[in-house]
Amino acid sequence: MVREATRRGVLAAVVSLPLVATGCKGIGALGTPPRQQPDVTVVRDAIDAETLMISRYHAVLAAVPALAGSLDPLLQQHREHLARLRARLIEPATASTPAHSPAVAASAAAAPVPGTPAAARAFLRHAEQAAAQALMGKLTAAPPSLAQLLASIAASEASHALLLGPGRTA
């Protein structure tokens, strides 16, 4: 009896020892999500920006359906941006992401959208320019491969703005 108890005590001590010895915070450390890395924040912001941009395109297309032919290819590329950015983010499904996107979408839906084709294109052109500029501002905070992705998306958005300029048909 006594012997058994002692053996159990020793086993328990052995099991708990490595956790203490390695300075680990114990089992609890596995349950709490790690603190957010700076580049995670950068990716989150970029995801929000893309989500907002897609919402704007949807709002413009709802207001001016005649623009579908010229805007659909650009919208599709924003969806590709969003997918590529999301693939960069590995996080538990229960994380706070749901709180992100609906809020972003709601703010976009609330914003008024111009009703004429020319004004709607100008609206999107300015949004694209601002988005490209915002991404350029994040480059130095990102690790190299993420910086490449952000720079490429910024270049894509800048070229969207070019094609949305007056006198262009695309």
Among 26, 93, 152, 167, binds other proteins (CB under 8 A): 152
Should residue 158 be labelled a site residue for other proteins when binding is judged by CB under 8 A? yes
Q: Is residue 42 exposed (0-12), middle (13-18) or buried (19+ Cβ within 10 Å)?
A: buried
Among 1, 136, 166, 167, binds other proteins (CB under 8 A): 136
Should residue 166 be labelled a site residue for other proteins when binding is judged by CB under 8 A? no
Q: Which stretch binds other proteins (CB under 8 A): 42-50, 59-67, 101-109, 148-156?
A: 148-156
DSSP element (H, E) containing 20: helix 2-21
Nearest to 155 by CA among 138, 133, 170: 133
**Nearest distance, CB of residue 159 and other proteins, angstroms:** 4
Binding residues for other proteins, total number by CB under 8 A: 29
Residues belonging to the chain: 170
Q: Which is nearer to other proteins, 31 or 82 (CB)?
A: 82
Q: Is residue 167 exposed (0-12), middle (13-18) or buried (19+ Cβ within 10 Å)?
A: exposed
Should residue 105 be labelled a site residue for other proteins when binding is judged by CB under 8 A? no
